[in-house]
Amino acid sequence: MNPTTPSSATLDICSNADLHCHSTVSDGTLAPEALAARAKANGVDLWALTDHDEISGQQRALDAALALGLPYLTGTEISVSFAGRVVHIVGLGFEHRDEALTAGLRATRGGRGERAREMAASLAQVGIKGAYEGALQYVGNPELISRTHFARFLVEAGHCSDIPEVFRRFLTEGKPGYVEHKWASLGDAVRWVREAGGEAVIAHPGRYPFTPTEEYALFTEFIAHGGRGVEVVTGSHTAADAAKYTETALEFGLYASRGSDFHSPEESRTDLGRLDAGLSGRLRPIWELLAPRIHRPTAAAAA
């Protein structure tokens, strides 16, 4: 009998993968290099930076991770319109110099500037002046101006005491400052990631206000487009959400992902690399599927 040699794929037992976080390239407050150092210090053993709709931070994150001996997967979080709501699709393990992915994300970002001006006009109607200029102060990349930057302004200007209060009172459907926007389609987002060699993952499904029928449609359409993964353990989920989406992943035959969704030391509930739960042993982790796409440090850097 010939004992089989395990492939490198089966050797990737990551106990602390963190495959979702944001830098100053989108709406986080730390630079990619600072996040790499934080991931390393917090015991992350596989990391991905997943800025919203932008991959220009990928080379910096990759270089910083490898220099620290930290295995790295490329990442992004794509804003998608589905059933009249915004859904986030995390892409992992793609070629970050891919032209079609870069162009698709650029098109997705395109409307953010105009949307931000409309958000400011809506806030002005309830007496909040200067929100566009205020939000811009917190923006690293003006193309990526987001609700998070408006939220920081609303707190700093004294309109709200913290970020959760902002999203309870403003910037969400039916509240001042909310502007409906047309993002990428689900099919486009999945296709851009897959054609660049990566895999698509439904981000934090527990956060969407879908009916069971709409959620079923999201999962089935996502899979029909070639999507393979779902976030189960995330900073955006409760333990009950994680238990629910463990079953959903098994039911739909999806690989499972794990990530903090860390944005900022001051604002985020879950620090990078500090999720308290692992994936259930019943699940197949997405990094098994993506094993050939993991950038690995050289032996010297890993030592």
Task: Give contact residues for Mn ion (rule: CB under 5 A).
Answer: 27, 77, 88, 203, 261
Q: What residue 163 binds from Mn ion, ligand AMP, none (CB within 5 to 8 A, per partner kind)? A: ligand AMP
Residues 221-280 that bind ligand AMP (CB under 6 A): 263
Q: In whole angstroms, what is the distance from residue 95 CA to residue 295 CA?
A: 11
Count of residues touching ligand AMP (by CB under 6 A)? 10
Closest distance between ligand AMP and the C-beta of residue 163, in Å?
Answer: 5
Residue 183 structure tokens: 């993002």
* Of 293, 297, 298, nearest in space to 98 by CA: 293
Q: Choose, by CB under 6 A, the member of 20, 52, 109, 159 that binds ligand AMP.
A: 52
Residues 6+ apart with CB under 8 A from 140: 24, 25
Residues 127-146 that bind ligand AMP (CB under 6 A): 146
Establish if 49 lies at the interface with ligand AMP (CB under 6 A): no
Q: What residue 147 binds from Mn ion, ligand AMP, none (CB within 5 to 8 A, per partner kind)? A: ligand AMP
Which range binds ligand AMP by CB under 6 A, 11-19, 163-171, 189-197, 239-247? 163-171
Closest distance between ligand AMP and the C-beta of residue 216, in Å?
Answer: 24
Q: Specify whether the CB–CB gap between 91 and 186 falls below 8 A.
A: no
* Of 296, 233, 259, nearest in space to 75 by CA: 259
Q: Specify whether the CB–CB gap between 228 and 289 falls below 8 A.
A: yes
**Backbone φ, ψ for residue 110 (5° rounding):** -50, -40
Q: What residue 164 binds from Mn ion, ligand AMP, none (CB within 5 to 8 A, per partner kind)? A: ligand AMP
Residue 34 structure tokens: 């600072």
Q: Which is nearer to Mn ion, 18 or 77 (CB)?
A: 77
Helix H segments across 125-185? 131-136, 147-156, 163-169
Closest distance between ligand AMP and the C-beta of residue 26, in Å?
Answer: 8
Residue 147 structure tokens: 């609700």
Residue 42 structure tokens: 């917090």
Establish if 50 lies at the interface with ligand AMP (CB under 6 A): no
Applying CB under 6 A, the residues found at the interface with ligand AMP are: 27, 52, 79, 146-148, 163-164, 167, 263
